Structure formats: structure tokens, C-alpha cells
Amino acid sequence: MKIPRLTILIVPIMLIALLAVACSEEPAPAPASAPTPDISGIMEQAMQVLQSQPQGASAEEVAQAVQQALAAQPGVTEDQMASAISRAMSEQPGVTEAQVADAIAGALREQTPGITEAQVGDAIARALAERPGVTEAQVAETIADALAAQTPGLTEAEVSEAIAKALAERPSVTQEDIQMAVSEAVSMAMPAPAMEEPSMMMDYPDLLVRDVFFFATLTPPRGCSFWGCRVSFNMFDGLVAIDNTSPNKNVVPNLAESWEISEDGKTYTFNIRPDVNFTTGRPVTASAVHQSFERAFNIFEREGIAENQAWYTLTENMEAVDDSTFQWTLSDPYAPLLPLLTAKDLLIVDAEEAIANEVMDENGSDYGVAWANETSIGTGPFQVESFTAEQRLVMSRNMDYWGGHDGVSPSVDRVIDLHVPEAAVGALQLSAGEVDVALQLDPIAFQSFEGDDNVQVYTYPSLITCNFLVDRRIEPLNTPEGFQAIRHAINYQGLRDVVALGLADVHQSLILPGMAGHDPLIATKYYHNPDLARQLLADAGFADGFDVDIQLRTGACGSVGYQKALEFFQNNLKEVGINAEIVQSTSSRFWGEIVAEELRDFGISGLGVTYFDSDQPATWRAVGECNMLGLDDVVPDVAARLAELTEMGRVETNSQARHTIYREMSELMVDNCGEMTVLQVRDTVAHRSNIGNIVPAAHAFTPEFRYITKK
């Protein structure tokens, strides 16, 4: 469609006004010999460039026009160039800080050969400071992205230095703010180095990892504990993937090299990537994809949980149209389908191999679940070499790995994953060089590494929450007053500062930042108020408190150990008159009682995001575990509304409407669900100094071992 002539005229006129303002500001003093920029000449040249565009000017074209016009004038400073580009691009609808930063970096590189990264970063920071509401984190992220894109080969140290210098000039910013912004921005912007095709003669090292095992099946679709999902994501791929470097967690092609969605949003057609094989040697075809999904459907039916899965209830038909085309047809639009395809439930397995090893029992075929407990039949970068439960898992490099969505293959030969439940022992092993990487250590263990140049600790925001679990059927929690008394008994800030040692944020909702429906006011709604908690207990008829058991088991919410968190919780409860006794338990007992709706105790669990969409906490928490903890028995109208909102969110495709739906859900869960979220934790990976390239995955089960390097 042609742009009316009026539009073509308006763009340069707006640009004249913006440039006049930008260039009329008091510039930094220039050398006496520098001539004053010819503002009228700049305006005329910018107009000529923009009016030559027959289809109107895009944001990038506006930036280019400003750059060309200013570059032609002597005496224009870097700050003037950056400010003019920022203001001009800001008039274009939908322009992001990242686009502005990239345009500024490119312009300054061209205008001033030899300009340093710090100078570029400083110019970007000054320009972005004129845009309202831009945070330190956004400034850091845009500088990192722009420098990484404009200057290939930059090191993390160079990018970090540029960001730190730029942020240091922002008013009231602290060193802690700078360190956090730098860490997060660099980890998102600096891409994992592309791995060269390995030579068969190359000697690949082993990677020894301290971990904490938790019962699970290694092969999809079932068994997504933190540990089980972590190893599965290193052995299996989905049709699509989440881009680890994308702040918005964009869905990208994976085993499907492309896809199309019908206009009514009901039919998804996936074009399967050629020349990818399972570790069994069979090729990945549309038929193999169909078989994999059918097996997942059958397993969920066998376990009696299929009806809880929207992708199951909405499916009308699946078929392999030909060898390379798989089609999935739904009865209604299902907004989260693509993100869901990155979850363990729907990762692609060689179903033919699994079913060839099936076991028959009174319920029919187990579809190879028992056999697949200790093996891998996927397309991922690693495969099972050996497995001894509760001791050791050895994953060897998949020699036929296709490279993944970003072309990165493993640079280690084997990952030797060791079950070491005691954090102190794991820390000692790392300090002594007995392991290369230590996962799931607690904050106290990290303090032991201070002054040790051989150990580094990498931290980043995770998609894991720490949650106190209470059964709503316990008196007086079966009343609103009794439940809210527990909410106000908890010292959230103390948990963050004393137990997590700062490696967490107070967060009370399972709808996380970045998800539709997230509202920070809801996520911090409750506060520590022992007096109010005691009054609420009295209002519920329990002025003298009550007795309850707290089940303790081995584990952690990220870096927050279960035992320390529960001891802190126990003291909070004691402060308001509740006598809570900690009793030893196991994960199988604890979750077994929850699933059977027989808990009647308190406990704790880390909960992770398996796919980044609000449908995940809706499906698994709001209409699943919340009811297992008695919500539908105690507050049936709230349970019914959560079920209604879950269905609404699944079929709604408008982003604002989805936000409204899930915001209501978030508040209902915070006020009523027995999964009482208290913290969103930061994840940590401690590693020897010769280990590099720790890349956070876009789910709660990091890291992905194929990125890690060992010198």
C-alpha cells in the first residue's frame, strides 16, 4: 500500500523539530578550532534523505538519515549524534530501546573509527536517559546487545566494563545495582560461541558435576523433578525451542524448521527438519513425531491425568501429511501451544523403540515407561551411558547430534553427574577440584569460596519459586482468617535476607515476571505482621494456636535449602502461637500424600516453570495442586472460578485479554491456594575457574551442558 504524500512530508518535518532541539542543547565544550555545526544544512539533508523514500520512513531509515546528515557536519559530538538518533527514532511507533541502542552504536562506529566500547556505552546510556522509565537493567541490556552485535569478538569483560562505566554516571545507582545489571545483561547478550565441527581425533574432556538427584523417569513425557528435567533437556529436543539469549523468551524453530498456523488458530502445520536421527539411528520424520505425541497421550491416559491437559482435550486430529509435514488440528485456538512444545511432556522420543520394550500389566501396555526409566532415545546433545539411581548418571556426547537451534554442539565427551546431597560435601569437592561444577549448593556454601581464585560463582534470575505448602482442610486453615493468619505470620524479607542470603526476591505469586497476568502488587500483597496473624487466629476460633507437623525432606528451592527454610518458617509460626513440629519425610511420601489428597501437614517445595506461559501455573497449580491441597473442598466457588479462568486463558489469543484473565487468577491463588509462594530464587552455578560458558536455559532446569567449555 502506498503511503500518502502527507505522511512523507510529516516525517521529515517532525525530524526537523527533533534535531533542532537535540542540537540546540548545550554541548560539551569543543576545541576552539571546531566549527559550529550547520543546523540548517543538517535539516535540509535529513529532509532530502527521508523524502526519497517512496514508502515512508521506517525507524531504521530515520536513524540512518540522521546519522548521514549529522556525519556530514564538522564538530558534531558523539552525544549529539546519539541524542538526535534517540529522539528521532522515539517518534516512530513501536521502537524499542534495543533498536535505538543498536542504531547509535552503528552510527558512532562509522563516524568515529577507534571509538572505545566504553565511549559507545556512555553515549547510549546518555541517550536512553532521555527516554522516560528506562531502568538500569534496560540500559545495561541494550548496551550489551548493541556492542555484541556491532563488534563481533568482544569479550564479556569488555562489555561488562562498558556497561559499568555507563551506569556509574546515573544518579543514585549503587554498585550492587551495577553488578546485578551487568551480570544479567552480559549473560543474555553474549552468545554461546559456535562450536566447530569436532575432529574425530580431538580429545574431549569429561565434565564432573555435583548434583542432587530426585526420583524421575529420564524419558518424556513424565517425571519432571528439577533433576529429572535438567538431564532430560540435555538428551531430548522439541519441535520448537526457547531462545536462551532472548529476554522475551522467543519461540524458535528446532526439530521443526518452520511452521504455519491457520487463520482460525486451530491448525498447526510443522515442517520437520531433514537429516536428524534419534540416538537409535532412526530418522526423525513426521510419522515419528506423530508416534511420539501419541505415546505421550496414551501415557497420560493410563495415569488418569490426560483430561487435565488442554493439548489433550482440545486435540481433534494429528497426522503425518507426508514424511516431512506434521499437522495438528485443535477444536479451539490454544494460545500456549508453541511454548508448551518446549516442555518435557512433549519433547520428541523414538516411540517405536520405547514401545518395542513395553511391559504389559493389568492396565495394558506401559508404552515402554519402565524400560525408559534409565535410558534415552532422543535427538539431544547427550545420551545415557550408565545410570545408578541415587548415585551416578553418566551421559556421553551424541556423536550424531545435529547441533540444535543455534548450532552449538558439546565440547565435553561425557557429563558425569554425581548425587551428593550434602551441600557442604559438594562445596569441599569443588574446592578440591574433585568436581568441575556444583549445582544446588546453599548460600552458606558459597561463602566458603571467598578468596578462592580457583572457584567462581555464577548467579542469574531463575524460573524457580520457593513455596510453603499447607493443606487447606486443616483447622483453622479451612477459614479465610486462619489461612491469612499463616500468610501474615511469614517473615518474607527475613527469608530473603537470612535464609537465601539475598539470592532471591520476595514473590508471592506463581505468575512470574514476564508472564501474562503478572502484577508486582499482587506478588507482594502480604507482609509480616505477627499481631495481625494472632488476631486472625483468634477470629478463626484458635486464639491459643494449634499443633501441626511440618514434613522435611532433602532438597532445595534453587539455593534455598529446605531445612533452613522450614526452621525459619517454624519460628515464624511459633511467634504467633502455632506449635509446628518438623518431622523427617521423603519426597515420595510427601508428594504421594498430596496427590492422594491426604497431606494434612505443612511442607515445602520448589516449583519450576516447565514452559514459559501463564497456562503452566494455571494447568499444574491452579486447577491441579491447589485442589490437591483442599481448595475445592474448602472454597469451591474459588476453585470453580480458577477452572473457568484456566479455560478462558487457553483459548484467548489477545495479549491484553490474557493479562486480565491471569491477573485475576494470580490474586485468587495468592489469597486462597495452599501453595503459598514466598520467594522467587536466583539460581547459581559454582564452578572451577577453567570452566566457562555457563548459559542459563529458558526454563527452570539449568544449565544446558552442551554450552559448557572446559580448558
At 403, the pLDDT band (50, 70, 90 cuts) reads very high
Amino acid at residue number 16:
I
Q: Taking 60 as the threshold, does the pLDDT of residue 72 lie above it?
A: no
What value does the mean pLDDT take over residues 443-471? 91
* Contact of 593 with 542, CB cutoff 8 Å: no
Q: Taking 60 as the threshold, does the pLDDT of residue 685 lie above it?
A: yes
Q: Tell me: the pLDDT tens digits for 572-582?
A: 999 999 999 99
The pLDDT value recorded for residue 172 is 59
The pLDDT value recorded for residue 230 is 84
At 63, the pLDDT band (50, 70, 90 cuts) reads low
The pLDDT value recorded for residue 213 is 81
The pLDDT value recorded for residue 31 is 36
Domains of the chain are: 5-189 (no CATH), 214-392 (3.40.190.10), 458-683 (3.10.105.10)
Radius of gyration, CA atoms only, the chain: 28
DSSP-assigned states of every residue in 482-546: HHHHHHHH--HHHIIIIISTTSEEE---SS-TTSTT--HHHHT-----HHHHHHHHHHTT-TT--
* CB proximity list for 205: less than 8 A, separation 6 or greater: 412, 413, 710
Q: Tell me: the pLDDT tens digits for 592-632?
A: 999 999 999 999 999 988 888 999 999 999 999 999 999 99
At 196 the three-state DSSP class reads coil
DSSP 38: -
Q: Taking 70 as the threshold, does the pLDDT of residue 488 lie above it?
A: yes
Whole-number mean pLDDT of the chain? 82
At 34, the pLDDT band (50, 70, 90 cuts) reads very low
* Contact of 295 with 354, CB cutoff 8 Å: yes
Q: CA–CA separation, 579 vs 46, rounded Å?
A: 75
Q: CA–CA separation, 295 vs 348, rounded Å?
A: 10
Q: CA–CA separation, 155 vs 157, rounded Å?
A: 5
Helix (H) or strand (E) holding 103, with range, is: helix 97-111
What value does the mean pLDDT take over residues 242-257? 84
The pLDDT value recorded for residue 171 is 59
Place of cell 515512508: 56
User: 293: burial class by Cβ within 10 Å (0-12, 13-18, 19+)?
Assistant: buried
Q: CA–CA separation, 149 vs 418, rounded Å?
A: 38
- Quote the Cα angle for 349-352-355, to 5°: 100
Q: Taking 50 as the threshold, does the pLDDT of residue 674 lie above it?
A: yes
pTM: 0.66
Q: CA–CA separation, 486 vs 177, rounded Å?
A: 33
Q: Taking 90 as the threshold, does the pLDDT of residue 425 lie above it?
A: yes
Count CB-CB contacts under 10 A for residue 294.
14
At 11, the pLDDT band (50, 70, 90 cuts) reads very low
Calculate the alpha carbon distances from 479 to 412, 476, 482, 534, 708 in Å: 55, 6, 5, 14, 50
The pLDDT value recorded for residue 460 is 81
Higher pLDDT, 119 or 291: 291
Q: Taking 50 as the threshold, does the pLDDT of residue 277 lie above it?
A: yes
At 469, the pLDDT band (50, 70, 90 cuts) reads very high
Nearest to residue 633, comparing CAs of 585, 602, 661, 600? 600
The pLDDT value recorded for residue 37 is 47
Q: Poorest-confidence range of 2-11, 185-194, 332-341, 375-384?
A: 2-11
> Could you give the residue ranges of the DSSP H alpha helices within 551-617?
562-575, 587-595, 615-617
Cis-peptide, bond into residue 221, ω within 30° of zero: yes
User: What percentage of the chain carries pLDDT values higher than 70?
Assistant: 69
- Phi and psi, residue 389, nearest 5°: -55, 140
What value does the mean pLDDT take over residues 372-401? 93
Count CB-CB contacts under 10 A for residue 257.
15
At 17, the pLDDT band (50, 70, 90 cuts) reads very low
Q: And the C-alpha cell for 100?
A: 535505538
Can you name the residues that pair with 557 across neighbouring β-strands? 560
The pLDDT value recorded for residue 28 is 36
Q: Taking 50 as the threshold, does the pLDDT of residue 39 lie above it?
A: no
- Quote the Cα angle for 635-608-289, to 5°: 105
Calculate the alpha carbon distances from 374 to 215, 299, 395 in Å: 11, 17, 11
Calculate the alpha carbon distances from 226 to 100, 232, 681, 686 in Å: 39, 10, 14, 17
* Contact of 228 with 214, CB cutoff 8 Å: yes
The pLDDT value recorded for residue 45 is 53
Q: Taking 60 as the threshold, does the pLDDT of residue 530 lie above it?
A: yes
At 524, the pLDDT band (50, 70, 90 cuts) reads very high
The pLDDT value recorded for residue 150 is 53
Higher pLDDT, 445 or 154: 445
At 146, the pLDDT band (50, 70, 90 cuts) reads low
Q: Taking 80 as the threshold, does the pLDDT of residue 470 lie above it?
A: yes
* Contact of 117 with 147, CB cutoff 8 Å: yes
At 134, the pLDDT band (50, 70, 90 cuts) reads low
> What is the sign of the dihedral through the CA atoms of 254, 256, 257 and 260?
negative
Q: CA–CA separation, 36 vs 401, rounded Å?
A: 60
Amino acid at residue number 637:
D
What value does the mean pLDDT take over residues 103-117? 63
What's the gap between Cα 283 and its chain centre? Answer: 31
